[in-house]
Amino acid sequence: MGELIVYACPIGKLAEQIENYFEQSQRMVGRNAAHAYMPHCTLTGFFHDVETAIPLYLQALDRALAQPYPQPVITIVQMTFRPDWHGLELRSDWLTQRMSDFANLAHAPTRRENLRLKTWLHLSFAYEFQSEQGEQLADLARQLICPEASVDWEVRFYQRYPDRTWNCHQSWLLK
């Protein structure tokens, strides 16, 4: 059984700024939970299925995403700094509906659990960090990340392996 998930990932200037933040924050205070992932917005929870079912999911995403895209596809609502989480809060009614369509189209007899669609759209900079690091991480994010920076988004279908490596089976540019 493979561990599968659907993300929306930024590309462009904003993505470069977030990657730079990940590198500098790791050097500055060490790793936190966000470093285990690429910059992303989670659209589904992890789900499990056999590898031979992956083409079915890719076809379902193809069909679900075959709708005219609004511009912007994803709106950055705000940059947020909580004591336990730093990141961008996002909104996309269009993408939320497309993921609902995906869940309705992705009928795989080998999947044992329901697809869990995410309702709080966000992109994490840092979480599960030590409380005394919070202000330092927030200051670094404010210096390096401009929420108004140019960005496009890709929907990506990933498989995560037991050794925590990733394989992106397909991506769809939302432009």
Query: Which tens digit of pLDDT belongs to each residue from 124-161?
Result: 999 999 999 999 999 999 999 999 999 999 999 999 99
The CB density around residue 112, as the number of other CB atoms within 10 Å, is 10
pLDDT at residue 2 is higher than 90: no
The answer, yes or no, to whether residue 38 has pLDDT greater than 90, is: yes
pLDDT at 59: 98
Average pLDDT, the chain: 96
Encode pLDDT of 86-130 as tens digits.
999 999 999 999 999 999 999 999 998 999 999 999 999 999 999
Q: Are 61 and 170 in contact (CB under 8 A)?
A: yes
What does the block give as tokens for 18?
Answer: 């977030």
Interstrand relation of 152-160 and 166-173 (parallel, antiparallel or unpaired): antiparallel
Please give the single-letter amino acid code of residue 65.
L
- Report the 10 Å Cβ neighbour count for 58: 15
| Residues 6 or more apart in contact with residue 16 via CB below 8 angstroms | none
pLDDT of 175 above 90: no
pLDDT of residue 1: 81
pLDDT at residue 85 in the model: 98
- In this model, does residue 79 exceed pLDDT 90? yes
pLDDT for 137: 98
